[in-house]
Structure 1
């Protein structure tokens, strides 16, 4: 599969977005190079830039600037189990500036006893920020882990709370 990548700026670090004409496939963590991300995108050829990523990069930039609350992009999920895909879809129903617990998310996808499996799906979300996994926290109110790091998760939640 041929994928293209382009970078958005996240607090002075490049954050690469990968996709093709069908949609965004993967969002890398800030500071990760395209070569590092390619390891996760097995069986894909990657090339720099493409017009198909102009809108996703612009929307991500607007989000980081507090000017965007929702994303109007095409997504192409190329990995994941049925449960993971269901969880990733459900992430998009969490309103901007709000949080839910992993157990709430498990209940929403009809698997109230599968909290660990749901948490694993959240952790493997290939479209961080676009599918807002940062809005899922522990039932205790603790922030929990995040692929982009705990500080990034705190920053994103703070950004959203500040622009409600």
Structure 2
């Protein structure tokens, strides 16, 4: 991949972005809160057990989930504004991983025209998505004992 925007577009068209959103929602669902460390003799007086509300608040305030949803909504909105032939070029490039020559032959256009359509789309969404590239890795490395 040439840049981070290409990676995000590839994830969107292959469905990995939807999977990442669902995975993050699942992670937030099964997050363990802090344990009650009240070792005194009394009871907690301000303890409210609202699991649905707590889960909704966690999802709405999670920066990674916000970032993923924002990327998806921007790409969907801009993609739906394109005409069918431009959409086909993007689907072939990012969803089906075809080469430019094959894309040109399949869509009856010049290879350079297909690249220009891709570049126009990327220029349109680049300014909206540049701020979402701060978190670079989705999965953290796990150090297993030997």
Fold-level similarity (TM above 0.5): no
Point out which structure has higher relative CO (alpha carbons under 8 A, 6+ apart).
2
Higher strand share: 1
Higher helix share: 2
